[in-house]
Amino acid sequence: MGKTAFVFPGQGAQYVGMGKDIADNFKAAGLAYEEASDALGLDMKKLCFDGPDEDLVKTENTQPAILTTSIAILKVLEEFGVECEMTAGLSLGEYGSLVKSNVFQFGDAVKLVKNRGKYMQEAVPAGIGIMAAILGLEKQALEECINSCKQYGIVEAANYNSPGQIVISGEVEAVKMAVKKAVELGAKKAVVLPVSAPFHCSLLKPAGERLKADLQGLKIDSPKIPVVTNAEAKILNCKTQVIPSLVEQVSSSVLWQDSIELMIKNEIDTFIEIGPGKTLAAFIKRIAKNFDAKVNLYSIEDMKSLKELIPNY
């Protein structure tokens, strides 16, 4: 018999209206938004349900908004008795997995990710760094591409999302040269992304150090459910690993493909994406196909998708 994993989305999944119909129908979800509002002194229902988009997309708002929506939906799934044997999240989403595993209390986590967003935004002045998605290029070829462009500045792999879907990050000239080189090497598509900072590269190390100070002031417990970390694609075994892992995660590559492969090796055959969007399910579908594994995929973000997961609702 296979096992279930909960996975949580990262920044970029947000949209105005996310979580609203779940919160309208379930008290537990509404209470999660209220808890986040109290913790932050910010009306999270208004931000998530009504926007405006220009406020929601600010990194220091986006991160707590997505986390709150994910935890609100998680609370509803738990009411239905839906549980998991393992959990992970993409970048910001890792904080959802840590809340699920009782490493952090939700109120602490939502304050932490608001600061995380602020630190990440402030680490690199506007116009210095960018990110780009490289599609249809093998990992080895991409690494060759990156190495050949380092003469122009900092350029690094930010996200190994799925086979043929890798995101790079760094200084503007170096990333743009890597985009050009990737196409020459046979990439199907290579495009600069509309993001506000060059996330998950060494330029973000100052943000990690600021985050470390916040983490050191928090109550951290050992995980009750295995959490697969982004930075190493390994299972988090004890609470002493939490701070180093999350500090490293800010400025290192997100090893999402390796993380999912590890979960499949640990007999996970059902993945439930909890929060806005369906991006993780799309990544996992490609990873599983490449890994020759059959998996069940669900993305729970509204009442329709909840009913698909729970037919007897």
Q: Tell me, yes or no, whether 65 and 209 share the same domain.
A: yes
Compute the half-sphere exposure of residue 281: CA atoms within 13 Å on the CB side of its CA: 17
Please tell me the predicted confidence (pLDDT) of residue 196. Answer: 81
CATH of the domain at 166: 3.30.70.250
| CB contact at 8 A, 280 and 299 | yes
Q: Tell me, yes or no, whether 237 and 177 share the same domain.
A: no
Nearest residue to 47 (alpha-carbon basis) of 8, 12, 9, 17 = 17
Secondary structure element (H or E) that encloses residue 189, with its range: strand 189-192
Three-class SS of residue 16? coil
Query: How confident is the model over 12-22, as a mean pLDDT?
Result: 96
Q: What angle do the packed helices 205-215 and 106-123 form, to 10 degrees?
A: 160
Query: How confident is the model over 83-107, as a mean pLDDT?
Result: 98
- Token pair of 221 as six digits: 């417990």
Among 37, 70, 91, 101, the one annotated catalytic: 91
Please tell me the predicted confidence (pLDDT) of residue 102. Answer: 97
Q: Is residue 194's pLDDT more than 90?
A: no
- Reply yes or no on whether 91 is catalytic: yes
Instruction: Show which of 148, 166, 193 is a domain's final residue.
Output: 193
Helix-, strand-, coil-residue percentages of the chain, each rounded to 5: 50, 15, 30
**Dihedral over alpha carbons 276, 277, 282, 284 (to 10 degrees):** 0
Enumerate the β-bridge partners of residue 296: 270
How far is Cα 150 from Cα 165, in angstroms, rounded to an integer?
Answer: 21
Instruction: Show which of 193, 214, 231 is a domain's final residue.
Output: 193
Q: How far is CA 47 from CA 35, 37, 112, 114, 116, in A?
A: 14, 10, 18, 13, 18
Q: Tell me, yes or no, whether 26 and 49 share the same domain.
A: yes
- Angle at the Cα of 30 (from 84 to 8), degrees rounded to 5? 35
Please tell me the predicted confidence (pLDDT) of residue 2. Answer: 82
Q: Is residue 140's pLDDT more than 50?
A: yes
Range of the domain at 236: 4-123+202-309
Chain length of the chain = 313
Arithmetic mean of pLDDT over the chain? 96
Share of the chain above pLDDT 90, in %: 96
Q: Tell me, yes or no, whether 83 and 153 share the same domain.
A: no
Which residue do the tokens 């090497």 mark?
185
Please tell me the predicted confidence (pLDDT) of residue 313. Answer: 45
Q: Tell me, yes or no, whether 260 and 134 share the same domain.
A: no
- Token pair of 22 as six digits: 């779940």
| CB contact at 8 A, 83 and 1 | no
How far is Cα 288 from Cα 162, in angstroms, rounded to an integer?
Answer: 9
Among 70, 101, 169, 200, the one annotated catalytic: 200
Pairing verdict, β 86-89 and 3-8: parallel
CATH of the domain at 299: 3.40.366.10
Cβ contacts of 156 within 8 Å, gap of 6 or more: 146, 168, 169, 170, 200, 201, 202, 253
Q: Tell me, yes or no, whether 189 and 173 share the same domain.
A: yes
Predicted TM-score (pTM) of this structure: 0.96
Please tell me the predicted confidence (pLDDT) of residue 126. Answer: 86
Over the stretch 39-79, which tens digit does the pLDDT of each residue have?
A: 999 999 999 999 999 999 999 999 999 999 999 999 999 99
